[in-house]
Amino acid sequence: MRPLSGFKIRHLNNADPQLFSRACVGCLVLSKDKKIILQQRDLTSPTFPGCLATFGGGIESNESPIDALVRELKEELGAVIKIADVISLGAISEAETNYSELVYLYFWHDKHGTITGCYEGTAKYYRNPDQAMAHPKIMEDVKWLLHLCKKKNLL
């Protein structure tokens, strides 16, 4: 795997969302058949066009990060999430946003096959982290998640 750079790890106990322009969630998803699922953003997307990204998005004012994750995965994948199945992996800020956004990152294995489709961007499936890391426009949070999930034997 390529070396990691371009991000700063934020410890959750001192990750104050008020210090950032935006707080978001991102999730590395593993399908029922154990393939890594990532989102290829549309070329017309206003943010990060053509990039390989996690599923997720902005946290609304009335939401916790986990509530936002459940909502986003339902909207983007049709997935039904059991919070007990979600693994929180921390928070980072990325060079891609000039370190202005706080991104809470998660891992979720769709063990029960609840994903019904991909309703934002295009779903890309990978057999292993190295395949995904070879993408020419991979986002920094995806790199970090792939590295950490591999290290924790989640992939």
Q: What is the C-alpha separation between 54 and 38, in angstroms, rounded? A: 5
Per residue in 61-92, pLDDT (tens digit) is 999 999 999 999 999 999 999 999 999 998 88
The reply to whether 62 falls in a domain is yes
The reply to whether 2 falls in a domain is no
Look at the chain and report how many structural domains it folds into.
1
pTM of the model: 0.89
The reply to whether 123 falls in a domain is yes
The reply to whether 1 falls in a domain is no
The reply to whether 122 falls in a domain is yes
Per residue in 123-144, pLDDT (tens digit) is 999 999 999 999 999 998 899 8
Domain that holds residue 19: 7-151
CATH of the domain at 66: 3.90.79.10
Which 8-state DSSP code applies to residue 112?
A: T
Cα 152 → chain centroid: 16
The reply to whether 36 falls in a domain is yes
